[in-house]
Amino acid sequence: MSPSIDYEAPTPPYQQIAAEIIRDIESGTLAVDRPIPSESALIQRWGVARDTARRTVRHLRELGYVYTVPQRGTYVRDRSEGKYQDTQ
């Protein structure tokens, strides 16, 4: 069963997707320094527009859950003991 977005919810779609990814990070399903799903994968999995996928990744980056390596992808950030990698 693929995930669905509640367009009637007060939370925007990109935040709903980010919340799901955060749950995967916090549960260990997505490990530190491992890639998160690409924008294309988010589009396919959630059935959203590219802008929504980009906003999801940007939101996760702003919250400190991920970091992006240009032309490589976006990875789970090590949040233990305040360790942060400063790549974009």
Q: What confidence score (pLDDT) does residue 1 get?
A: 46
Q: What confidence score (pLDDT) does residue 45 get?
A: 95
pTM, entire model: 0.86
Flag residues of the chain having pLDDT under 50. Answer: 1, 85-88
What is the spatial distance between Cα 18 and Cα 20, in angstroms, rounded to a whole number? 5
Q: What confidence score (pLDDT) does residue 63 get?
A: 97
3-state secondary structure of 19: helix
Q: What confidence score (pLDDT) does residue 81 get?
A: 60
What is the spatial distance between Cα 65 and Cα 75, in angstroms, rounded to a whole number? 9
CB 77 within 8 A of CB 84: yes
3-state secondary structure of 66: strand
